Amino acid sequence: MGSIFRTADCAGVDKIFLTGYTPKPIDKFGKERKDVAKVALGAERSIDWEYKKSPTEVIKKLKKEGFKIIAIEQSEKSVDYKKVKVKGNCAFILGNEVKGLSKTILSKSDIIAEIPMKGEKESLNVSVTAGIALFCILNI
């Protein structure tokens, strides 16, 4: 389904929640997945991560803890990501390149930010989207 990037005081990502069918760095036997390790280049060992089947469960928990939920998605209710200013604790949720985020997830989000695109394609790779959104919105 997707990933949720948590950031305390908007100071950089301190935890990643993997949800749905997003691959985990560790397989069901507790061994490192070589395909994830190859792509992550060791980052999977340097940041706290947790797997939850349902993203709504994570969103509910984060909201209770005072986090603002920012969905990165194209929507009728979205705002240009360059106009999003956040302070305090926030979490960014990203879907996949094909289906994006569900209406249910979007309805639970405090802000829906969109990265405007030109041309025929209306989708970015999730890692590219995360990099753009985190860098620009958090002003890292």
Residue 138: per-residue pLDDT: 83
Residue 115: per-residue pLDDT: 87
Report the predicted TM-score, pTM, of the whole model to 2 decimal places.
0.84
Beta bridge partners of 96: 100
Residue 102: per-residue pLDDT: 87
Span 87-101, average pLDDT: 83
**CA dist., res. 107 & res. 11, Å (int):** 26
Pairing type for strands 15-19 and 2-7 reads antiparallel
Span 50-65, average pLDDT: 91
Domains for the chain: give ranges and CATH numbers.
2-138 (3.40.1280.10)
Residue 91: per-residue pLDDT: 92
